Amino acid sequence: MTNKTEISARLEFWRKALQALRKAYLSLLDGEVKSYKLGDRELTMLDMPGLMKEIKEAEQKVDEMEALKSGGKLRNAAAVIPRDW
């Protein structure tokens, strides 16, 4: 398992990535720009569904990193055994 400083660095990375994705999405949504340059990618209104998917993935990563940083687990596992009584 990674240490707290690595988790903090990853959390900061995903927060910045999420912030950039949200800024691009809102700029396109508000009609401020016809295309938005994000790094080496140029996004247009046609890229909105893919951009929304990336935002959701980044939000999940931020949630996972925050859970790890606070000492929680990533996921809880549960087993279900179906029985016919």
The string of pLDDT tens digits covering residues 27-66 is 888 888 888 888 888 888 888 899 999 999 999 999 998 8
Strand ranges inside 9-81, DSSP E = 35-38, 41-44
**Domain coverage including residue 11:** 4-69
Asked whether residue 15 is domain-assigned, the answer is: yes
**Beta-carbon-side half-sphere exposure of residue 66 (alpha carbons within 13 Å):** 8
Asked whether residue 53 is domain-assigned, the answer is: yes
Asked whether residue 60 is domain-assigned, the answer is: yes
Q: Over the chain, what is the mean pLDDT?
A: 86
Quote the number of domains for the chain: 1
* pTM of the full structure: 0.74
As given in the structure block, the two tokens for residue 31 are: 């009609």
